[in-house]
Structure 1
Amino acid sequence: MNLVERDHELAYLRSLLADGERRDGGAVLVSGPPGSGKSALLHAFGRQAAATGALVLAATGARAERAIPLGVLRQLLASAPLSRAARARVTALEERLGPRSGPGGRGRLDAATLRWLSELLLRLAADRPVVVVVDDADHADYPSTQCLLFLARRLSLARIVLVFAERSTAPENRWFGAELLRQPHCVPLHLAPLSVPAVRELLAGVPGPVAAAYHRITGGSPALVAAVGADLRAAGVAAPTAGSVPVVGPAFGQAVVTCLYQAGPGLLAVARALAVLHAAATPALLARLTDAGVGTTEHAIRQLTAIGLLDRGGFRHPAAREAVLDDMDDETRARWHARAAELLHRDGAAPAAVARHLVASRRAGRPWQRRVLRRAAERALHDGRLDDAVEQLRLAREGTPAGPRHTALTALLTCAEWAVDPAVAGRYLPELVRALHAGELEPGAGIELTRRLVWRGQLEEAGRVTRRMSDGVVAGSATAADLAALRDWLSVTAPAAVDGLPRWPAVPAASAPGPAGTGPQPRAAQVLAAVLRGDAGEAAVDAAERVLHGVRLDATTLDPIADALSALLYAEHTDRAARWCDRFLEQATEQVFSTGAALLMAIRAEIAVAADDLPAAEFYARTALACLDEDGWGCAIAMPRAALLLALTGTGRHDSAGEQLERPLPAGAERTRAGVRHRYARGRYWLAVGQPRAALADFLACGRLMAQWGVDVPALAAWRLGAAEANLRLGHPERARRLAAEQLDRCPDRSGRSYAEALRVAAAASAPPDRIALLREATRVFQGAGHRAELARSLTELSQAYRAHGDQDEARSAARRAARAARWTAEPGAAKRPGPAGPAGGAVAGADELSEAERRVGALAVLGHTNREIAGRLHITVSTVEQHLTQAYRKLGISRRTQLPASLGYDLAPAGRDGAAVPPAPVPVHRGSGTPTVR
């Protein structure tokens, strides 16, 4: 250790040596806590004294050698020029003394022996000064201290300087220092902590703020500062900058432990108790934990503060606490934590504080311990501390015998584990199923179990569990109301689980509080079911928002939040759904809530798809898939995959979309609501890659399932529009008109996206005179809803319709508006990038042969851009634009720009319905005043 800020002490010791040379001896007692630099000071003085020609006799006391008689004295005499006879007499004296027991016990030296030993040392000072240096003198054996005290009383006119060092924290041999300081020639010398400038010097000139930070960490202890320097060198930090974070590593931790062992068992015990209790530590509690008095404990705290480890009763740095804990073996640490838990429990501490110690001790064999762990876990679940809840419930469950209590803990543990990793939680489901059939599971836990089984794709098992819960339920009870809500949820999520379930009177979805005993989960489930069955009115939307207003995201509220958000989405209130979803996503991030983040990201991806923001949809979908692995997602993985597939297809990345389809869905997924959505997304992909028959098959399958389930709403899957476009591609415009008209009939809101999409597809399937009215209405709705990409697409088709009708002025006006909307769409953050699609009036020969570059050039040409403008936007030459257009004309069999299909470059992917033979007669759609008609 480098000696810093000890010049005054060294100067004083040198002055004593000068006095000794004049035959005026003296003694110094150097004190200070462990790590204060006493040994370094003594060694430095010894080297300086030897350099002057003095005889330096050095020794170090040790707790383990205190029973060795004359051990310190023999160290001193080892380097002294003694005769053989003198050494033999000292050896014989040691053998005669035997073990000692301290002052007043065996091992005391008689007066004659003391006189002879003192004269032996005094004769050594006859020719030159003698310096006697004893480090850790408080650990010296008793006969040696007798001799040294005898000598100290006879220093007058002797050329001897005695320098002793003792720890201010050590109770052992404290009488020695007290007796020494009674002598007239003895002076105390206490070593103070280092200042900030001294810390800076010891750390090789680090910046002032860094030195101040290390001073706060070490309390100015030279040993701890030196350890910090070693950690800096080990980390390769030669010169920390002013803004750098202080480096504290293994050397610091080892120095902490070394100081504590030097301080003695009493202070070590208090430090361990402090490390275990941490923030809960008080002098009274520490005293009880260490079986010491409060006064003794308070004194120990002051000593630990003097060492540099504590500040205001707590560790100065977390690494010091960790070092103390790591120094204990596992069993010792467990005993300390178990005792701390018991004391805190007796004092009425909060369950969370007690549970932390129980988890650390791995003790849960007593009933009170299990009760505390469960209460703490329930609070942790509510607060979003999922890791704490899992640890506490695992321990409580391990210590609980089989039976209803064990089952209840397993259900809670499943809830907590599900929030972290559903794949891990899935291993508890078979046990909970058995417990439910045995009548050991409460209805609330049974409802949650049912939802988890659906997530895992075990639909039949979910139905059996729900039927078992229904046995003996009294109509009108809170349990019956909850089961009615569960049945509603199953009927629109996984209808295969509903077969054979009894019916209870359901509570209206828009009712405010619901029946007695119900909470947000049944209310949200009822609202979702109502919306999917076609009740998307303001009452249902308000009910969904009331659910969201009343909850904060945690492991127990994720299900109702997801249901209420989905209700807003399927009711086509995407703005509201997005605002609420973003709020809960922020909470999920704060809690490190993996399953919550995954599910909310998946819902947010669907909201982005509905809002025509496909880049955002891709981001949210990929993030959702990254939150959980495939096994964790279970059947629910169909939801983010569907959103990702729609985003990739809509942005023209068909290869990436195809790669997604190569990944099979888990068993049972296709029989769930998410599976229907995925099938619909697959149909959109088939349309985009020119496979209308495959697309039609998927859209029809969606239609059959949705009709069976009674959830035929466009926002879930506008399959009729998909089937309509597939029929257009296959050359069946009559069928397409029929399907588009049916879709218009089912649109819940004339200001919603599904209504506008249905109008546009109806226009594509209608005769030219009707096409203009339908497209004008579609553009009005798209503009009002803010769907710029869809607006640009509809305006382009409207321009083509006007041109075909011979109204060139209106055609040019619509084209200009389309160009403006397209420019808005192309700006950063725009909703959607155009992608390849089919034409607006049936299949166009050669469209599938266009390259991606030809599609992009053609799309901008349709929107009214000149060749030079297209070249600037795509960063290519005008000559290249002309070449792409020439190739496009050839493949499409046209000769000029005005003949380009209106929807070239866009992904016209309306959903549709059945492809069965449709009567050729016109299909009127009556919308009242001002609404166009499909004929």
Structure 2
Amino acid sequence: MVLVERETHLAQLSDLLENCLHGAGSVAVLRGPVAVGKTELLHTFAERVAGVRVRFLGATASPTERHLPFGLLSQILHGTDAGYTQRAETVIGGGVLADGAVGPEALEGVSRIFLDMSADEPLLIGVDDVCHADADSLQCLLFLARRLRRSRIMLILGDQDRSGSRQADLRTELSRHPYCTQIRLAPLTCDGVAALLAHDLDAHVAHSLAAGAFAVTGGNPLLVRALAEDWEASTRSARTEPPTGLVVGDRFAERVVSCLHRLEPDALAVARAVAVVGETHRTEFIARLAEVGTIEARALVELLDESGLLHRGRYRHRAAQEAVLRDFEAPGRIAWHRRAAAMLHAEGGRSTSIAHQLIAAGETREPWAPAVLRESAASATASGQVDFALDCLELAHSLASDEQQRAVSRAVLAEAEWRVEPARAVRHLGPLTDAVRHGLLTGRQSLAVLEYLLWHGRVDEASTTLDRLAATATGPEAAELGAVRACLELCYPARHRRAGTGAPASAPVDPRVSASLVGTVLTAVRGDVAVSGDHLWQGLRTDEPLSRISLGLLALARPERLATVAPWCLPMLADAAGHDGPDWQGLFTAARADAALLQGDLRAAGEFASAALDESSRAHWGVLAGAPLACLLTTAAETGRLEDAAAYVNMPVPAALLETPFGLRYLRARGQYHLAVGRPYAALSDFRTCGRLLRDWQADGPRQVPWRIDAAQALVHLDRRDEARTLLEEQLDGLPADDLRALGQALRHLAATLEPHERPPLLTDAAEASQAAGDRVEFAHILADLGSAYAATGDSRRARPALRRAWRAAQECHAERLAQSLQPGLTRTTSAGAASRGPRLGGDRAADLSAAERRVGALAAQGRSNRQIAQRLCITVSTVEQHLTQVYRKLQVRNRTDLPVFLETPENTSGAEPLLAQAIPDSAPYSP
């Protein structure tokens, strides 16, 4: 047995026993809260002295044996000789009165038995939990206590600190005797908790867990030992590293229940009432719920505080509260929760507190319950407690009494679930659509149903329901329906036209509808004109549903549109996502992925897109899944992660995806993946499908998806250059002057249809356009093509710097597949100029360069003249020449065209001129 912080108490008991051995009997009462260590102290002391100096007779009282006559006395006598046992039975049998009470003769006879035994050898009688003793045994013990002053008997009684005890006469009687010693045990200190944990755990672990264990247990030794067992069990089951913090598990819960059942019935009732309420509450309320007196309840709460179970009237840990609730029988627990809810409602308690009780009960017949639950759901939603709000609405829906109430409650529940997890709203779509059809839902709830249908690709139902509502709508409701119709046209243009809904494409958008983000976007898409951030900012209403903001933003399939609106829409989208629930963060993250892709940061784009699908599964996304999947495919193909890209291609997508602009983005990205893995025919099929869809939608305009550029790229791979050139010329003919991104792409692929010596002028123009558009990935590809064109014509002087710049640009935007493909080209151009001048360079030789030589060498490797290097580094031209001489000698090369690419590190080239100026050599002569 383990005792901590009990040395003083053991010393007191040892002194009393020493006196007892000399004929001075005594009574020691061990008092303290439940499970504070009284039993451990009694048995530890008995083990140390029993059989050596005294004879130990022990017993433990139990609530289950409280009504068993002489049950405790029978335990004490169990370890004595048979003669004493028979004598006790005779005395008791003849001394019980007719009314069942114990007569004086019986009490005197039982006492004489113990006194006679002590004449042979000293007795140590230990009774644990004497508060649960049966009345007959207790009278015998009190009678003996009054007669052991001149005996060799030491009586140790373990008793709980309690108020209003049924055994109050025991304390009153014993307190009168001067030979009765009260020994009070307090819970352990934090240092004591650490020492107790150290008996079972490593000393370092025990020290690290001590503060947390003290906070959870209040120093209760039984609960502290349980935490040590939980930690050890968790360590044994851990497959990796052991837990770093406190583990509150099954052993802890078991010990909590053990503590409960050692309490008096009233204390147990109060402990259960506190668990049911679950929060700090007035003592009067706890007393009424537990059906005890207020004064008694206050004292029992203090007792539970001292025991370590409670702290200021609340359970110290959620696991303790849950263990107490699980200890109930289910019908009893439900009845307590229902009674608590009714009491709270009667006294005007908070709606959320009442709702917690109703949800815990799971059922009620109270007519006021649905209204309270809906009020609590609204309050919980406003404070971000979405799961609790859903629980309230779920129960309110189950309690609805008629069709109208059920429809409304289902609509409210679906809206709350939609904010958290759009896929969960699918289960309500059928009943909600029927409710709209039968006029049970009106206003915002009907509009929400339409948005759910559009999100999940159920377009026919949405169109039919929209037409039915539009036939009778007027005023603001008609404007809102117009905004939903704009969403339908944006996301499902083919269905919109086939169904004949709405205005023709050439008709102006209703002014009431245009005062929204989707209306502004629809105006831009219909007119095939550029969309500005100012227009979208004006159209972005703060009260517009997040689903419409999402559809409007991500429906801008062209990159330059998104590049224009992202700085305006992302902050508001982030704020809306934060208020609408955690799963909507995935939508915001997907928009960030697209923005990063447009900025040429492939690594960040891939990370954001992957996080978006992790945060919200594909089922939650509906047809919008095409946006993050397209981004993932593009980044995986460009960064060379082709196995990951294959996994993305094999992901199932909604059937309605290819009827949306998100499907076009997905098809384009999938086609690029096919090109990356050498499947030009599959790529060409995807790109032409984009064109066919756009023609079907009557949306094949100059500002829509540039599928012709993609198809031309696939045709070049198939060596069908004339067809590719025709498509590219069609694209360029209708291309707006401000669409520099598409211009750069078209010119690059048009150059690929020409002979190598004809390509540089077009590629130079393409590089200027892509750089102006901020298309860093495309710019790297253009530089690579430019370097290859120079190399194919034997112009190594121009090829080398262009390929270097292409490699560096690819590295900066993490286009690893392009960067790796450039390494052989760099090697070939170096070999052509240096084959007759010695072996190729090794990276170890660069280590011989000083910092100044490395800076000069890096700028020379970029194609800078000596004068440009001198101006850049603020040194003289003569110093540049001296450094270059040392660089050539150490690296064993003759001139700058042979300098290795590894000299071009980011720290050497920071603050460099725009990449285009670095990549395309000017007419300045090269210095030797």
Above 0.5 in TM-score?
Answer: yes
Report SS of the residue matched to 1:119.
Answer: helix
**Alpha-carbon displacement from aligned partner over 1:578-622 (angstroms, at most 9, x marks no partner):** 79659857986998734x344445444444444444454444444
> Residues 181, 690 of structure 1: CA spacing in aligned structure 2 closer, same or farther, 3 A cutoff?
closer
For residues 52 and 796 of structure 1, what CA distance do their matches in structure 2 show? 96
- By how many angstroms is 1:412 displaced? 3.0
- Tell me if 1:479 matches 2:468: no
Task: Say if 1:861 and 1:870, in contact at 8 Å, map to a contact too.
Answer: no
Per-residue deviation, 1:320 = 2.0
Deviation at 1:383, TM superposition (A): 5.1
Q: Pick closer, same or farther for the CA change 1:132–1:863 going to 2, 3 Å.
A: same
Whether 1:92 aligns to 2:102 is: no
2:130 corresponds in structure 1 to: 137
Residues 58-97 of structure 1 correspond to what in structure 2 (within 5 A)? Answer: 58-81=58-81, 82=83, 86-93=87-94, 96-97=96-97
- Whether the 8 Å contact between 1:274 and 1:314 is mirrored in structure 2 is yes
SS in 2 for 1:51: coil
Alpha-carbon distance, 1:796 to partner: 5.0
Aligned match of 1:191 in 180, 185, 188? 185
* Residue number among 627, 631, 641 corresponding to 1:643 in the alignment: 631
Alpha carbons of 1:210 and 1:722: their partners in 2 closer, same or farther (altered >3 Å)? Answer: closer
Q: Which piece of structure 1 moves more, 690-699 or 144-153?
A: 690-699
Q: Secondary structure at the match of 2:357?
A: helix
Instruction: Tell me whether 1:311 sits opposite 2:311 in the alignment.
Output: yes
Structure 2: tracts of 5 or more residues without a match: 845-896, 898-928
* Contact 1:134 1:165 (8 Å CA) reproduced: yes
- Is the CA contact (8 Å cut-off) linking 1:139 and 1:172 kept in structure 2? no
- Return the alpha-carbon distance in structure 2 between the equivalents of residues 745 and 636 of structure 1: 32
* 1:904 match: none
Aligned to 1:675: 663
1:163 equivalent to 2:161? Answer: no
Q: Which moved more, 1:793-802 or 1:675-684?
A: 793-802
Partner of 2:488: 490
| Cα 1:51–1:542 shift into 2, 3 Å | same
Q: For residue 279 of structure 1, give the secondary structure of its aligned residue in structure 2.
A: coil
CA distance in 1, matches of 2:308, 2:640: 66
Q: Are 1:612 and 1:831, in contact at CA under 8 Å, matched by a contact in 2?
A: no
Matches within 5 A, 1:560-639: 560-564=549-553, 566-567=555-556, 570-574=559-563, 577=566, 581=570, 593-594=582-583, 596-626=584-614, 633-639=621-627
For residues 218-250 of structure 1, give each alpha carbon's deviation from its aligned partner in whole angstroms, at most 9, with x where no partner exists. 222232233334334444589xx9994223332
- What is the alpha-carbon distance in structure 2 between the residues aligned to residue 73 and residue 179 of structure 1? 19
Q: Is the 8 A contact 1:815 1:864 kept in 2?
A: no
Confirm whether residue 826 of structure 1 aligns to residue 825 of structure 2.
Answer: no
Question: Cα–Cα, structure 1 residues 330 and 855, in superposed 2: closer, same or farther, change >3 Å?
Answer: same
> SS where residue 275 of structure 1 aligns?
helix
2:741 aligned residue: 753
**Are 2:533 and 2:564, in contact at CA under 8 Å, matched by a contact in 1?**
no
Over the aligned positions, Cα root-mean-square deviation in angstroms equals 4.4
Partner of 1:889: none
Residue range with higher mean Cα deviation, 418-427 or 16-25: 418-427
Q: How does 1:23-62 map to 2 (within 5 A)?
A: 23-62=23-62
**1:496-515 CA distances to partner (integer Å, 9 max, x unpaired)?**
44223244999998x9xx85
Cα separation, 2, equivalents of 1:591 and 1:600? 12
Comparing 131-140 with 744-753, greater Cα deviation is found at 744-753
Deviations 1:170-193 (A, max 9, x none): 612111111121123322221222
SS at match of 1:166: strand
2:93 maps to amino acid? A
Q: 1:861-882 CA distances to partner (integer Å, 9 max, x unpaired)? A: 589997899988999xxxxxxx
Aligned-residue offset at 1:304: 0.6
In structure 2, the partner of 1:529 is: 522
Q: How many residues align?
A: 831
Whether the 8 Å CA contact 2:557–2:705 is kept in 1: the answer is no
Q: Percent identity?
A: 34
Task: Report deviation, 1:402.
Answer: 4.4
State the Cα distance separating 1:324 from its structure 2 match: 1.6
| Pairing 1:146–2:139 present | yes
TM-score normalised over the length of structure 2: 0.78
Is the 8 Å Cα contact of residues 421 and 632 (structure 1) preserved in structure 2? yes
Residues 61 and 129, structure 2, Cα contact 8 Å, conserved in 1: yes
Change (3 A) 1:609 1:225: closer
**Deviating more after overlay: 361-370 vs 82-91:** 82-91
Structure 1's 37 and 722: CA in aligned 2 closer, same or farther, altered over 3 A? closer
Query: Which protein has the bigger helix share?
Result: 2
Counterpart residue number, 1:794: 782
Partner of 2:874: none
> Is it true that 1:557 corresponds to 2:546 in the alignment?
yes
CA contact (8 A) 1:524 1:561 kept: no
Pick which of 376-385 and 451-460 moved more.
376-385
In the alignment, the residues of structure 2 paired with residue 727 and residue 441 of structure 1 have an alpha-carbon distance, to the nearest angstrom, of 54
Distance 2:839 2:683 in 1: 33
- Displacement of 1:479: 1.2
Q: Compared with structure 1, are the counterparts of its residues 257 and 873 closer, same or farther at alpha carbon in structure 2 (3 Å cutoff)?
A: farther
| Alpha-carbon separation, structure 2, partners of 1:278 and 1:21 | 52
How has the CA–CA distance of structure 1 residues 149 and 368 changed in structure 2, closer, same or farther, with 3 Å as cutoff? same
SS of alignment partner, residue 131 of structure 1: strand
Superposed displacement of residue 481, structure 1:
0.9
Structure 2 CA distance for aligned equivalents of residues 149 and 689 of structure 1: 94
Q: CA separation of 1:612/1:532 partners in 2, compared to 1, >3 Å: closer, same or farther?
A: farther
Amino acid at match of 1:572: R
- 1:230 aligned partner, one-letter code: E
Cα gap change, 1:174 to 1:455, in 2 (>3 Å)? same
Give yes or no for contact 1:169–1:263 (8 Å, CA) kept in 2: no
2:640, 2:815 within 8 Å by CA — same for their partners in 1? no
The residue number in structure 1 matching 2:771 is: 783
The structure with higher relative contact order (CA 8 Å, sep 6+) is: 1
Give distance in 2, aligned partners of 1:382 and 1:723. 50
Cα contact 2:39–2:128 (8 A) shared by 1: yes
Mapped to 2, the partners of 1:874 and 1:530 lie a distance apart of 58
Conserved in 2, the CA contact under 8 Å of 1:224 and 1:255? yes
Contact 2:270 2:301 in 1 (8 A): yes
Question: Aligned-pair distance for 1:438?
Answer: 0.9
Residues 484 and 503, structure 1, Cα contact 8 Å, conserved in 2: no
State the 1:488 CA deviation. Answer: 1.6
Aligned to 1:834, the other structure's residue is in SS state: helix
**Partner Cα separation in structure 2 for residue 561 and residue 784 of structure 1:** 29
Aligned equivalent of 1:108, options 93, 101, 105 = 101
Q: CA deviation at 1:470?
A: 0.9
Residue type matched to 1:544 in 2?
L
Query: Using the alignment, how far apart are the partners of 1:35 and 1:403 within structure 2?
Result: 55
Matches within 5 A, 1:173-192: 173-192=167-186
**CA displacement at 1:35 relative to structure 2:** 0.9
Tell me how far apart the structure 2 counterparts of residues 61 and 690 of structure 1 sit (CA, whole Å). 84
Deviations 1:279-331 (A, max 9, x none): 34343432343233433222112101111222233223333223222222333
1:154 Cα deviation from its structure 2 partner: 3.1
Letter in 2 for 1:481: A
C-alpha contact 2:419 2:581 (8 A) present in aligned 1? no
Q: 1:279 to 1:578 in 2, by over 3 A?
A: farther
**CA–CA distance in structure 2, aligned partners of residues 186 and 683 of structure 1:** 93
Corresponding residue for residue 289 of structure 1: 289
